Amino acid sequence: MARNLEVSIRIEMNETDAPLSANSEKAEAISSGHFRLVLDGAKSLDIDAPENGLLNTSYPAIRQALATYLADEVKKCQIKMLSIPNSQVVCHRTRYRVDGEVGRFEFETYDVRDTDGRIVFHGFGALPIRTGKQWYQTAGFKENAILHGVLDRSYRKTAVAFNIQRRQVKGGTPLSTLRDAAETLGVGVMAAIEDETRRTFVEHQFTN
């Protein structure tokens, strides 16, 4: 029986003698899941400054926490596959890419190799199928970037706003990805409408 997953977050904002961060828009990674951003104490009651600092710190931490969790889960799945004598779990040659509501991130996956070096279980096998250099697009991505994004404004404006929202101006989702995603979903919607139309005709005994 699978165990449940507990998600917990601890946020602290304390006074410090540490020097100001070189870039007030980018948090510094201290350790796994731990990011820090040192702001100007003179702006402690500015409200805008600590709010912006909190968001700039939390989004990178969320992305790293999610990437670490997914990589660990894939590795656990592969360890369970070690039924072949002397087989081993090795890191896959490419990382799995995700484009989500929290931003873009990648994580390691793992393969199981036998004694002859052949891959018997691929690390991507337990994850949603992608092709080539595609990024897996989460439900949150599609809702925010497509349904509440490109349907109401241009691709360029949507890309800029979406990446700012996720605190990922650099390395965020490019315009071309939004365009391709919208077109793919549009094709799927049209196909579903055509299928439903044909089904309705047949149900009510209409010919084409």
Residue 28 sits in the same domain as residue 122:
yes
Task: Give the range of the structural domain holding residue 153, as residue numbers without chain letter.
Answer: 138-194
Angle at 156 between CA 150 and CA 159, to 5 degrees: 70
Residues 125 and 41 in one domain: yes
Residue 108 pLDDT:
93
In a domain, 5, yes or no: no
Query: Taking the chain (208 residues) in consecutive chunks of 10 residues, what is each chunk's mean pLDDT?
Result: 82 89 85 84 85 92 93 86 79 92 94 84 83 89 92 93 94 93 89 92 86
Domain assignment present for residue 17? The answer is no
**Is residue 53 a contact partner of residue 25, using CB atoms and an 8 Å limit?**
no
Are 74 and 110 contacting, i.e. CB atoms less than 8 angstroms apart?
yes
Phi-psi region for residue 33, left (φ > 0), alpha (ψ -120 to 50) or beta? left
Distance CA 150, CA 161 (A): 11
Domain limit, last residue, from 121, 137, 153: 137
